Amino acid sequence: MTTTSSNATYPLIPVVLSGGSGTRLWPVSRRDYPKQFLPLMDAEHSLLQQTLQRLEGMAEVSAPIVVCNEVHRFLVAEQLRQLDMSHGGILLEPLGRNTAPAIALAAFQALNAHEDALLLVMPADHVIGEVQTFHQALEQGRIMAAQGRLVTFGITPTSPHTGYGYIRAGTPVDEGFAVDAFIEKPDSHTAQDYLSTGGYYWNSGMFMFRAQTYLSALEQYAPEVLDAVTRAWQGCTRDLDFTRVDHSAFEQSPDISIDYAVMEHTDQAVVLPLASPWSDIGAWDAVFEARAEERDAQGNVSTGDVLLHNTTDSLVMSHSRLVATLGLANIVAIETEDAILLADRSRMQDLKHVVARLENEGRTESRAHCRVHRPWGWYRTMVREPGFQVKEIMVTPGAALSLQMHHHRAEHWVVVQGTAKVTRADRDDPDMASLRSMLVIEDESIYLPLGTVHRLENPGKVPLKLIEVQTGRYLDEDDIVRFEDVYNRVE
């Protein structure tokens, strides 16, 4: 492998991996709106946004590259917009193939803009307590990565945790150690031995290396990954702010992590210790531990409209109504508008079985909230019964829904805030020769019969809100035919 003098400088590009499904934090985190997009640690910023903000104050950091699931692309773009942050690319995975292929996509994106670059790979949903300590470790990592090393950051363990993988350190290398071994999650006895012995670190899933170094390592140790991702990248297309890769080529890549694909094989892997509070927020008990500073005198962490009486060592969160507890200890109580979780705090690793049952039974609560976000705003299902459902719809100023029609439902709209621009054709006019627009103001309504081509827009400067009543025998969201769409969703 070619090495480079430590005096060489490369732009540092954050690569944020945002492809997780987040089902371990159900019911707040769901497949369509997973944990990385949620404000779990403070009231203002999501885990993704905090990950990006964590680099503020560091010198010579380029705009981030974000790799995400295709269905989450507008969530990523909106959360970057909220931070007023530009990006170096939002790369869309057509399906999950683990971290090795995802990072390879980011490496190709970086090499599009630079001859070479340092990639700082970070999961979107982790928490780091001491930012300055993190920055110091990154500066050390910059030097080693510029020399051709593949750097991983190992968290100095503070407990015999059995929920994390471990890294066993070998001989010293500058400020770090050669990686002797990556170790799967141990049992409690083994984890205690690691803590007592020393020389073992939690595997943080964070890495730093040059883009060229990583692709060369893939060529040597996982050529089938590099081949598939290369072909996927060669077939990429631009879609608004997003980069789509070739689906069939990417699908051919092995589903493999960077640890298995590269880090366990290379002799260039080094681990840099990071002595900071850290969590992967992998379960509700991890949220409880990460928010330890917020505990009340009885050891409880709570959020929202909560009343706790004779309750100890519990996590209680309310999102839409009062939650009262009495005579409970060591529980997790998570309330959302359409689902409530009550559980023993020590049983959080079993939550996946609950979510699996919901999925097997076809329950929408496993994948979507009552409020569903769209690139134009959001909608919230208020009532759903056989033959009808009622939604609250919010359209952001200047936004527009697609020009569309439905085969199985009619819609009644009542504007309650703002002014709606409604474009519609006559019923049974497939050529749309009768297409025309009108304004519908507050307290006015419009009826759209089944089969009517229509579009809703917000031409104003304030959010548009309306109540929609749908009637028909089939009311699912896949009953939609799009003719035009500013977000390129026409199939």
Q: What's the pLDDT tens digit per position in 181-202?
A: 999 999 999 999 999 999 999 9
Q: Walk me through the domains of the chain, giving residue ranges and CATH numbers.
A: 12-279 (3.90.550.10), 298-355 (no CATH), 371-484 (2.60.120.10)
Cα-atom radius of gyration of the chain, to the nearest Å? 25
pLDDT at residue 4, rounded to an integer: 43
Q: Select from 169, 194, 197 the least CA-distant residue to 182.
A: 169
- pLDDT by position in tens, the chain (length 491): 344 444 458 999 999 999 987 789 999 999 999 999 999 998 899 999 999 999 999 988 999 999 999 999 999 999 999 999 999 999 999 999 999 999 999 999 999 999 999 999 999 999 999 999 999 999 999 999 999 999 999 999 999 999 999 999 999 999 999 999 999 999 999 999 999 999 999 999 999 999 999 999 999 999 999 999 999 999 999 988 899 999 999 999 999 999 999 999 999 999 999 999 999 999 999 999 999 999 999 999 999 999 999 999 999 999 999 999 999 999 999 999 999 999 999 999 899 999 999 999 999 999 999 999 999 999 999 999 999 999 999 999 999 999 999 999 999 999 999 999 999 999 877 788 899 999 999 999 999 999 999 999 999 999 999 999 999 999 999 999 999 999 999 98
pLDDT at residue 68, rounded to an integer: 97
CA distance 13 to 87: 10
Cα dihedral 250→254→255→258 (10° resolution): -100
The amino acid that residue 490 corresponds to is V
Phi, psi of 237 (to 5 degrees): -135, 155
User: Where in 129-165 does DSSP place strands (E)?
Assistant: 150-155
pLDDT at residue 42, rounded to an integer: 85
CA distance 371 to 378: 7
pTM of the model: 0.90
Phi, psi of 137 (to 5 degrees): -65, -35
Give residue-wise pLDDT tens across range 389-435: 999 999 999 999 999 999 999 999 999 999 999 999 998 777 888 99
| Three-state SS at 121 | strand
CA distance 255 to 96: 8
Contact present, 284 and 187 (Cβ < 8 Å)? no
Q: Select from 93, 158, 147 the least CA-distant residue to 124.
A: 93
Provide the 10 A C-beta neighbour count for residue 99.
22
Alpha carbon distance, N-terminus to C-terminus of the chain: 45
- Buried b or exposed e, range 58-87, using 16+ CB within 10 angstroms: beebbbbbbbbbbebbbbbbebbeeeeeeb
pLDDT at residue 8, rounded to an integer: 59
For strands 445-448 and 371-374, give the pairing: unpaired
The DSSP output letter for 30 is: B
The most distant pair of C-alpha atoms in the chain lies apart, rounded to whole Å, by 78
Q: Select from 10, 235, 181, 217 the least CA-distant residue to 100.
A: 217
CA distance 15 to 90: 10
